[in-house]
Amino acid sequence: MCGLTGEIRFDGTRPDLAAVERMTDRLAARGPDGRGLWSQGPIAFGHRRLKIIDLSERGAQPMTDPGSGLTVVFNGCLYNHRELRAELERSGHRFHSTSDTEVLLRAYRHWGVDCVEHFAGMFAFAVAEHRTGRVVLGRDRLGIKPLYTARRPGRLRFASSLPALLAAGDVDTALDPVALHHYLSFHSVVPAPRTILAGVRKLPPATVRVVEPDGSEHDHCYWDPAFTRRDADAGMDAGDWRDAVLDALRTAVRRRTVADVPVGVLLSGGLDSSLIVALLAEAGAHGLATFSIGFDSEGGEAGDEFHWSDLVARRYATDHHRIVVPSAQLPEALDDAVAAMSEPMVSHDVVAFHLLSREVARHVKVVQSGQGADEVFAGYDWYPPMAGLPREEAAAMYAKVFVDRPHSELERMLAPGVRTARDVSGEFLAEHLGRPGADTALDAVLRLDSEIMLVDDPVKRVDNMTMGWGLEARVPFLDHELVELAAACPPELKLAEGGKGVLKAAGRTLLPVEITDRPKGYFPVPAIRHMAGPVLERVQEALAAPAARSRGIFRDDYLRELLAAPEKHRTTLGANALWQAALLEIWLQTHGVA
């Protein structure tokens, strides 16, 4: 787990090494254990290292193989690096370290761009071919690790975070109106390749991009589950599916214990994180470090779920840590969390994850987390309305139960200069949900959420907030083989029992019934949800700042309406509309966007 940067020149000049160094230094939190730079001809790479596998300097990056003329920078972890090493050694390759970075380098030498199809893990990487001058960028199947790019005439830069690209300078920081439409429609999700800034793009998940010396590019999507029923699964009953899901999750959790340092668990006390703890205990883990966070109650809403996490911690005798955060600390914590965001993210638990990560990083460098289970196994309440719908009605129903607000309201909210004439978010949904494959409307929606909404909300949130403290988060529910299995699982088994039925059935083989049958919980931060005093003051300050007034994203009458009743205006799923507007401004101001 690390941070990577780079610059490629297409105009015959040398890379701006000072700019690469600024980008690399901006990623120091992602990789506090080492720093490296490499440059040859028109290409320069930078790297910040977090030592997880092969703690020696033999695992340092950028890593070059002189024999093949390849240099790589890599962020993430290949969980099957030992198996791949053995396979490559049988083919004649020799290794000088025990790092997964060298495995990636040798795998690229052996299989070329197809190497990604052999990887089980989370990753973003750049490989430079010295002889051809070609650079290959790659990202893992579920987009767990980020990779941002910024083009200017004659040049391409890339980095593990958007703020790192800003640190290099010379970025077009105008707002992208289409991205803004998505941000205000999809709970701050901006689907790849766009970002909120016109001059910054991101490599889509499951994509390999080949960048030629003349600047031309070619993308290849190497993974796209069908979300259809498979002939091989015919005849499986509910019990068979339960056992298959449990076995796949067992493998996913085991894979994510691969490390040369201890691995802990972020334990909310919900089904997903509790299953991870149970499976680690089943595998023989003793004294497993687990971590939970809670906040002050506000507006009659409880701020913690310690009852549930304590129950699991006692059951499996974990080394459990409770972290309690008073509401008075939230404004400062909010600004710190926003500073760690690569893109603006409105989910109020982003602050919780940032504070939790700060504490966890004092104890361990790697944790497993339960993110992704709801999108993969249909745990949210917008999935049941999709059951039985004709495929052609999926987009309209999804917009009704999920999208923050209709296009007509966006026209009322936004100033003319940043509005789009068309409902670009509605068009995006119709196009994606209308793609071939996916047997049912629910299958199509689960595909959308797994490929788009999951990547640029919970997954990005966890990566940004944990890496802000040099903490590596691993997400077993996004093991690609488990996701493929879930995609093939009959929808009715996922929707059973109010959602995640097949996962709950698997959980009952290991967990107390109080956990498997408890009501669905969330990561509560009541002070943000209810705009409690200190948070509201920070919001008012941001919206009244000269930069916000000059930018003029939102119409004045709309902001006055929100500020007059901070708790009243909510989106389709109950998010605070004032918070959504203010967070965008806080992010732009924090990152110095004029």
Question: What is the amino acid identity at position 288?
Answer: L
Q: Are 399 and 408 in contact (CB under 8 A)?
A: no
Neighbours of 299 (CB within 10 A): 11
Q: What is the pLDDT along the chain (594 residues), one digit of tens a residue?
A: 699 999 999 999 999 999 999 999 999 999 999 999 999 999 999 999 999 999 999 999 999 999 999 999 999 999 999 999 999 999 999 999 999 999 999 999 999 999 999 999 999 999 999 999 999 999 999 999 999 999 999 999 999 999 999 999 999 999 999 999 999 999 999 999 999 999 999 999 999 999 999 999 999 999 999 999 999 999 999 999 999 999 999 999 999 999 999 999 999 989 999 999 999 999 999 999 999 988 777 666 666 788 899 999 999 999 999 988 777 777 778 899 999 999 999 987 888 889 889 999 999 999 999 999 999 999 999 999 999 899 999 999 999 999 999 999 998 999 999 999 999 999 999 999 999 999 999 999 999 999 999 999 999 999 999 999 999 999 999 999 999 999 999 999 999 999 999 999 999 999 999 899 887 766 556 667 667 777 888 999 999 999 999 999 999 999 999 999 888 888 888 788 999 999 999 999 999 997
Task: Decide the pairing of beta strands 135-139 and 121-129.
Answer: antiparallel
Output the pLDDT for position 387: 93
pLDDT for 259: 96
pLDDT for 171 equals 98
pLDDT at 5: 98
Rg (CA), the chain: 23
- Among 148, 147, 47, 144, CA closest to 101: 47
Q: Please identify which residue in the block is written with the tokens 């790849």.
A: 192
Global pTM value = 0.96
H or E element, residue 208? strand 207-211
- How far is the C-alpha of 216 from the C-alpha of 212, rounded, in Å? 5
Task: Output the pLDDT for position 504.
Answer: 97
